[in-house]
Amino acid sequence: MSAPNTPSLADGISDAVGFVGGALIGFWLGQWLGLDIFAPGYGTPALLGIALVGLGGGLGLHAAKRWQASRRSKPAKD
């Protein structure tokens, strides 16, 4: 059995960058579509905008995890 991978600072930073970057892309996409998450009340456009931000953050985090896994699977260059 191989030893489990312990999380490193680089893993945490890439997770954070992926999540925040994805959430920002979701926010900007929502703004472009006219879905203002800061609109007064919780109307349909605001809720759809919030959902886009959450979806973007989740997809960004998933992309960061896949990037980390692909870097781990490559052999070291020595």
pLDDT digits (tens, 9 = 90+) for 14-38: 999 999 999 999 999 999 999 999 9
Give the Cα separation of 66 and 60 in Å (integer): 10
Condensed to tens digits (0 to 9), the pLDDT of residues 50-67 reads 999 999 999 999 999 999
Confidence band, pLDDT 50/70/90 cuts, at residue 41: confident
- More confident of the two residues 6 and 73: 73
Q: What's residue 32's pLDDT?
A: 96
Q: Check: CB of residue 62 under 8 Å from CB of residue 53.
A: no
